[in-house]
Structure 1
Amino acid sequence: MDIIELSQKSNFNYTEIPLPSSKSESNRVLIIDALTKGQNKISNLAEARDTQTMIGILQTNPPIYDVLDAGTTMRFLTAYAAITNQHKVLTGTPRMCQRPIGILVEALRSVGAEIHYMNEEGFPPLAVHGLKQQTAHQIKMRGDVSSQYISAMLMIAPLLPKGLEIELEGKIGSRTYIEMTLELMKHFGIQYSWEDRKIRVPHQDYQPATFSVESDWSGASYWFSLVACADSGSLFLKGLKENSLQGDAKIVEIMDHLGVKSTFKNGGVLLEKQAVKGLDSFDFTHCPDLAQTVAVTCAIIGKNSKFTGLESLRIKETDRIYALQQELGKFNAKLEEVEPEVFQVIPSVTMPHEVQIHTYDDHRMAMAFMPLLTKTKVLVEDPDVVNKSYPSFWKHCKLTGIQIQYL
Structure 2
Amino acid sequence: MEISLNSIPQTINGEVKLPASKSISNRVLILNALSDSDMPVENLSDCDDTNHMLEVLNSDDCHFNIGHAGTAMRFLTAFLSRIVGRWEITGSERMQQRPVGVLVDALNKLGAHIEYAGQNGYPPLRIYGSYLKGGAIEIPASVSSQYISAILMIAPYMADGLQLTLTGKIVSRTYIDMTIALQRVFGAEISVKGHCIHVKPGNYRPVHYRVESDWSGASYFYELLAMTESGQIILPGLLPESLQGDSHQTEVWKQLGVHTRFTSQGVVIERKNSDPTGLKYDFTEMPDLVQSFAVACCIRNIPFEFSGVETLRIKETDRISALITELKKLGYILTTGDGSQLIWNGERRQAQTHPRIMTYNDHRMAMAFAPAALKHPGLTIVDQEVVSKSFPTYWEQLSALGLEFT
TM-score of the two chains, using structure 1 as the length reference:
0.96
Partner AA of 1:292 in structure 2: Q
Cα distance 1:250–1:335, how it changes in 2: closer, same or farther (>3 A)? farther
Instruction: Report what 2:373 is aligned to.
Output: 373
Q: Which moved more, 1:36-45 or 1:49-58?
A: 36-45
Q: CA deviation at 1:14?
A: 1.9
Once the two structures are superposed, the pairs formed by residues 259-274 of structure 1 within 5 Å of their partners are 259-274=257-272
Closer/same/farther in 2, CA of residues 347 and 15 from structure 1, 3 Å limit: farther
The corresponding residue for 2:159 is 161
Q: Deviations over 1:363-405 (max 9, x none)?
A: 1000001111211211111100101111100011110011110
- Paired residues of 1:75 and 1:148 also in contact (CA < 8 A): yes
Rounded Cα–Cα distance in structure 1 between residues aligned with 2:386 and 2:339: 31
Aligned to 2:195: 197
Tell me: CA distance 1:11–1:175, structure 2 relative to 1, closer, same or farther (3 Å): same
Range with bigger deviation, 272-281 or 198-207: 272-281
Matched-pair contact (CA < 8 Å) for 1:299–1:346: no
CA distance in 1: counterparts of 2:189 and 2:63, whole angstroms: 33
User: Are residues 1:122 and 2:125 paired?
Assistant: no
Paired residue type of 2:240: E
8 Å Cα contact 2:14-2:234 kept in structure 1: yes
* Aligned position for 2:253: 255
Indicate the residue corresponding to 1:212 in structure 2: 210
The amino acid that maps onto 1:293 is S
CA contact (8 A) 1:41 1:209 kept: no
Q: How does 1:276-291 map to 2 (within 5 A)?
A: 276=274, 278=276, 279-291=278-290
Aligned residue in 2 for 1:355: 355
Per mean C-alpha deviation after superposition, the further-off stretch among 262-271 and 277-286 is 277-286
Change (3 A) 1:362 1:340: closer
Change (3 A) 1:199 1:351: same
Alignment of 1:100-139 (within 5 A): 100-134=99-133, 136-139=134-137
Q: Which residue of 2 aligns with 1:390?
A: 391
Q: For the Cα contact (< 8 Å) 1:302–1:348, is it kept in 2?
A: no
Equivalent AA in structure 2 for residue 155 of structure 1: M
Q: Structure 2 regions of 5+ residues with no counterpart?
A: none
Deviations 1:153-203, CA, capped at 9 Å, x for gaps: 000001111110110000000000000000111111112111011001001
Q: Deviations over 1:217-253 (max 9, x none)?
A: 1111000000000122211111100111111112211
Residue pairs, 1:300-339, within 5 angstroms = 300-339=299-338
Gaps of at least 5 residues in structure 1 are none
- The equivalent residue for 2:31 is 32
What letter corresponds to residue 316 of structure 1 in structure 2? K
Contact 1:76-1:152 at 8 Å conserved across structures: yes
Residue type of the partner of 2:221?
W
Q: Distance in 2 between matches of 1:266 and 1:354?
A: 42
Whether the aligned pair in 2 keeps the contact of 1:328 and 1:334 (CA below 8 Å) is: yes
Cα shift readout 1:267-295 (whole Å, capped 9, x = no counterpart): 21111112326353111111110011111
Shift in Å, 1:342: 2.5
Judged with a 3 Å threshold, the aligned counterparts in structure 2 of structure 1 residues 291 and 133 are, in CA distance, closer, same or farther, namely closer
Find the counterpart in structure 1 of residue 237 from structure 2.
239
Distance in 2 separating the partners of 1:340 and 1:38: 45
| Distance in structure 2 (CA, Å) of the matches to 1:15 and 1:351 | 31
Normalised TM-score (structure 2): 0.96
Please state whether the residue corresponding to 1:337 is helix, strand or coil: coil
Q: Please report the RMSD computed on the Cα atoms of aligned residues, expressed in angstroms.
A: 1.4
Distance 1:385 1:308 in 2: 27
Q: Helix, strand or coil: the match of 1:220?
A: helix
Corresponding residue number in structure 2 for 1:187: 185
2:141 alignment counterpart: 143
- Whether the 8 Å contact between 2:136 and 2:163 is mirrored in structure 1 is yes
Contact map agreement 2:320 2:342 (CA 8 A) in 1? no
CA distance in 2, matches of 1:256, 1:7: 28
Indicate if the aligned counterparts of 2:359 and 2:382 stay in contact, CA closer than 8 A.
yes
Q: Which amino acid aligns with 1:101?
A: V
The sequence identity of aligned pairs, in percent, is 41
Residue 360 of structure 2 aligns to a residue whose secondary structure is coil
Output one character per residue of 1:284-315: Cα deviation in whole Å (capped at 9) or x when no partner.
Answer: 11111001111111111011111111111010
With 237-246 and 56-65 compared, the bigger mean Cα shift is at 56-65
- Aligned partner of residue 163 in structure 2, secondary structure: strand
> Partners of 2:162 and 2:275 in 1: how far apart?
46
Q: Deviations over 1:85-144 (max 9, x none)?
A: 22100101111011000001011100111111011000000000123351x400100100
Offset at residue 334 of structure 1 (A): 2.3
Q: Tell me which residue corresponds to 1:43.
A: 42
Counterpart secondary structure, 2:58: helix
